[in-house]
Amino acid sequence: MLEGKVAIITGGTRGIGLEIARLFKENKAEVIIFGSRKETVEKAIDELKNENILVSGYYPNLNDYEEIEKVVKEIHSKYGHIDILVNNAGVSANKKIEDTTTEDFEKIMNLNVNAIFNMTKAVVSYMKDNKSGVILNTSSMVSIYGQPSGIGYPTSKFAVNGFTKSLARELAPSNIRVNAVAPGITNTDMVAALPKEMIEPLIKTIPLGRIGEPRDIANAFLFLASDMASYITGVILSVDGAARS
């Protein structure tokens, strides 16, 4: 479904991002993963290599536009085009507002919102030159329903939705599609670390009767990245088993 395409995936070293990388490679894309540190990127590359899946990786500071611009230029020089950007890097939060510091809030907004702006700005000129492209952002079910604590996280994901819908309109004349996937509770290492008594009541609220698997979410990204979604832009696609908060 993605043969001949070049895809950059931020937050691609674990969880949903790693599964997106795996699935995109299965569908013949060239995949470049971005992670926060050299060791996490190398670990993810080795994990995929053990599955006979070859990807390359970088670890730029996503809040440093000049650093991102340099890496993206290097990728474009190597492959000649950049077709897909998946803005998946992010951080969650669960503190009550009175316990949330200004620094806590800024950290969330920097990675969940500002980094998406930086990455998108760095790739969009190459996509315009190619007269096509796909930009996919990771949102969340809490961007639609909110959550009872950790105000920075849903705030940032509401911003991701606004960014997605507005940029879709701006870039449509250049044949660049912009969409987002809003996962529900997903079986990543972060969720696996939560106590059973916290997770089981949540599962009972999901009509499909289970939490999502990373492949469930990655499948949505694959669809939106592919030509099967060629007439879809400006959409926030919920992948949450019909969960409602």
Which element (helix H / strand E) includes 9? strand 6-10
> Which position has the token pair 């492959």?
79
In contact, 120 and 62? CB cutoff 8 Å: no
**Exposure string over 137-167, b if 16+ CB within 10 A, otherwise e:** bbbbbbbbeebeebbbbbbbbbbbbebbbeb
Beta bridge partners of 166: none
**φ, ψ dihedrals at 117, nearest 5°:** -60, -50
179 bridge partner residues: 136
Handedness of CA 198, 106, 124, 55 (dihedral sign): negative
Catalytic member of 58, 59, 126, 153: 153
Residue 181: enclosing H or E segment and its boundaries?
Answer: strand 176-183
Rg for the chain, CA atoms, rounded = 17
Exposed (0-12), middle (13-18) or buried (19+): which is 103, by Cβ within 10 Å? exposed
- What is the spatial distance between Cα 226 and Cα 128, in angstroms, rounded to a whole number? 18
Residue 153 annotated among the catalytic residues of the structure: yes
Active site residues: 153
